[in-house]
């Protein structure tokens, strides 16, 4: 524990020849943080994708209140005003995942779901709620608590022509199935000489939640990125959650879909018309001229909150949600680097061997001549995530640190 506290006392991890002045990087008032979708003293909170907090008392709707530092970042008020007039329908992120999954199960009878409590309970975060009565116990299969067994079963089912969607109740539990994911899922297409395809989707919640403890706060992107034959994507909005889910199911490659535990109650209006996203394409969240900020998953909202402060200070950051963690969309990233000549990477993954480290290497190898300053990478600290809420916040990148990093890059 002493080692943890000592590590937490340091500044957030930086990967740069020029270290930041961490005295300016402290975030404000972590005691005010709240859980997304939590219930407190009879009030129900829902975070909308426009960055505002709606809450009601005893089921009655209430006024909207601006979010605080550790929550989802706010966007322009005009976007909130125009949301209700846009075509489409509003969904929470977990509902968007379910809608994408249900549409694919309707379209293709080979699509099936398996995992712990995915059936009649509806999944630990209700992504599969209502699917078991509709499709039956064979297509929505409740499994024992045996990740290695049902992951291996899903991979075998994919070899025979099915398209299984395997849910890990928590991404940390899938470490028990690492052998099946690595030696079977990623390699069988190659080792069989192309005789077998493995069209399997492995998905589930991960990331630092609200006091879930070290074992339930895992970021496994860094674990799986080195496995040959695996694609990895991370959703961050209801719109891309549905589009990536549908694309992953239709892919003939094994895909790991990372979902963040704090984003399930994010609400957004998505199109009524069917759409499928590209698994290998990044999203331009905010065009800019001064610096390229690359991020994904929950950190997208920390970056967008920092962007508001940066704009007020006269900076014009370009924000890209990379979405595809493997392979990287170097076309979109490269065009941005050629324009801004400065790169900041913000991730919730660990500093050592994380996505940021791989992204730094890829940019350096391909676009070194376009850089006017060293790449800075803000990552979570290399310590087990503490249970105490205040200490937990110290281990994760906060908006104030992003602002400090951009100011140094643009000096």
Q: Which of 147, 259, 283, 348 is catalytic?
A: 147
Active site residue 147: yes
C-beta neighbour count of 158 within 10 angstroms: 25
C-beta neighbour count of 38 within 10 angstroms: 11
CA distance 228 to 250: 20
Q: Which of 216, 221, 259, 268 is catalytic?
A: 216
**What value, to the nearest 5°, has the Cα angle with vertex 219 and ends 320 and 381?**
85
Q: Residue 396 class from Cβ within 10 Å (0-12 exposed, 13-18 middle, 19+ buried)?
A: buried
By C-alpha distance, which of 359, 369, 348, 242 is closest to 299? 348
CA distance 84 to 87: 8
Q: What DSSP designation does 307 have?
A: H
CA count, 13 A, side-chain hemisphere, 327: 10
Instruction: Evaluate the CA torsion angle 48, 54, 58, 60 in order and state its sign.
Output: negative
Using an 8 Å Cβ cutoff, are 101 and 112 in contact?
no
Q: What DSSP designation does 105 have?
A: H
Residues 6 or more apart from 85 whose CB is under 8 A from it?
Answer: none
Phi, psi angle pair for 234, to nearest 5°: -130, 125
Residue 148 Cα distances to 85, 187, 214, angstroms? 47, 16, 21
Active-site positions read 147, 216
């Amino acid at each position: 524990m002493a080692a943890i506290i000592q590590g937490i006392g340091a500044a957030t991890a930086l990967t740069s020849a020029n270290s930041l002045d961490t005295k300016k990087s402290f975030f404000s008032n972590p005691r005010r943080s709240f859980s997304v979708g939590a219930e407190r003293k009879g009030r129900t909170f829902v975070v909308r994708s426009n960055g505002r907090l709606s809450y009601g008392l005893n089921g009655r709707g209430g006024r909207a209140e601006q979010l605080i530092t550790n929550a989802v970042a706010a966007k322009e008020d005009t976007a909130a005003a125009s949301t209700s007039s846009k075509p489409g329908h509003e969904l929470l992120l977990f509902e968007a995942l379910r809608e994408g999954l249900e549409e694919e199960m309707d379209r293709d009878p080979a699509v099936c779901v398996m995992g712990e409590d995915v059936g009649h309970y509806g999944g630990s975060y209700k992504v599969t709620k209502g699917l078991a009565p509709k499709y039956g116990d064979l297509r929505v299969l409740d499994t024992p608590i045996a990740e290695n067994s049902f992951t291996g079963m899903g991979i075998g089912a994919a070899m025979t022509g099915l398209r299984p969607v395997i849910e890990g109740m928590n991404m940390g539990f899938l470490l028990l199935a690492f052998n099946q994911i690595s030696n079977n899922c990623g390699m069988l297409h190659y080792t069989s000489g192309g005789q077998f395809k493995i069209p399997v989707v492995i998905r589930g919640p991960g990331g630092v939640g609200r006091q879930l403890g070290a074992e339930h706060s895992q970021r496994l992107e860094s674990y799986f990125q080195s496995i040959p034959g695996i694609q990895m994507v991370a959703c961050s909005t209801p719109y891309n959650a549905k589009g990536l889910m549908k694309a992953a199911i239709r892919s003939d490659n094994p895909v790991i879909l990372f979902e963040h535990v704090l984003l399930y109650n994010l609400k957004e209006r998505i199109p009524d018309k069917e759409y499928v996203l590209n698994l290998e394409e990044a999203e331009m969240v905010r065009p800019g001229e001064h610096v390229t900020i690359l991020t994904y998953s929950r950190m997208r909202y920390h970056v967008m909150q920092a962007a508001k402060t940066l704009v007020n200070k006269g900076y014009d950051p370009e924000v890209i949600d990379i979405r595809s963690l493997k392979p990287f969309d170097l076309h979109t990233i490269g065009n941005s680097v050629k324009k801004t000549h400065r790169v900041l990477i913000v991730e919730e993954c660990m500093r050592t061997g994380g996505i940021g480290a791989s992204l730094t290497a890829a940019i350096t190898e391909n676009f070194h001549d376009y850089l006017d300053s060293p790449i800075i990478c803000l990552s979570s600290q290399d310590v087990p995530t503490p249970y105490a809420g205040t200490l937990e916040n110290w281990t994760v990148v906060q908006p104030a640190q992003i602002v400090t990093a951009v100011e140094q890059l643009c000096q």
